[in-house]
Amino acid sequence: MGTTQQPTAQISLHCKAGEGAVYDLVADLRTHAVWAGARQSHNFRLLTLDVPPGPATVGTTFSSTGNMPMTPKRWQDHSRVTVADPPRVFELTTESIVAGRRTMTARYRQRYEFSPEAGGSRLTYTLTQLAMTNPMLRFGLPGIRQLSWRMSIMLATRGMRNLVTLAEEGVLPTEADSRPSAGRALNAGKG
C-alpha cells in the first residue's frame, strides 16, 4: 500500500542579521502582522491577528484571518506553537477554515529554521499541507492545484523576504505597526 506525499514547499533565504534576531521576530507573533500583513501582497496577507503578549513558546495559541488571491473569501486560522527552540527552530500547526457553501478546512505545519551563515544567517521556511477537506475548485483539480500551490509559495516567499528585511533593519516594529484593529484591516501603508 503506497503513501500519499504531502504537498511541501521550502524557501531558504540569506539574512544579514544573526539567527537570534530572525528567531526573535518570528517568536514575537505581533510582528507577523507586519511582515505577513502590512508589508505583504495586498491580495494574500493577514488582515487580523489575535496573539498573546510576549514571545511565543510551545503551546502558545493564536488566531488570525486573511484574504486569498482570486477570491473574496477569507481564511480563518487557529495556530498552535509546537516547537520553540531559540535560536534554531520555531514551528507551528495551523488549522484553516474557508467558509462557503462547502466549507474548506486544511491543516498545515509551518517550520522556521535558523542557522548561522557567513555574513549573517540562513532562514529556511518549510510549509507542509497535512490535510484538506472540501477543497475549493482550484485545490481540487490536479493541474490547477499545482499551479495554485506554486502561486501560494511565490506569495509566501515575499513574506519571508519581508521578515528578512525586518531583521536586517534591526528594529522591532512599534506596537501600532503590528497591532490590527479588532476585526479591521491591518495598517496598510507599508506594502
Domain extents for the chain? 8-178
Q: Which CATH number fits domain 8-178: 3.10.20.30, 1.10.645.10, 3.30.530.20, 3.40.50.12780?
A: 3.30.530.20
Global pTM reads: 0.82
pLDDT of residue 154: 76
CA-CA-CA-CA torsion sign (167, 84, 111, 180): negative
What's the pLDDT at 138?
A: 54
pLDDT tens-digit map of 60-110: 999 999 987 767 788 899 999 999 999 999 999 999 998 888 888 999 999
DSSP class of 36: I
Query: Which regions in the chain score pLDDT beneath 70?
Result: 1-5, 70, 136-149, 151, 172-191
Q: What is the identity of the amino acid at 114? A: F
pLDDT of residue 149: 63
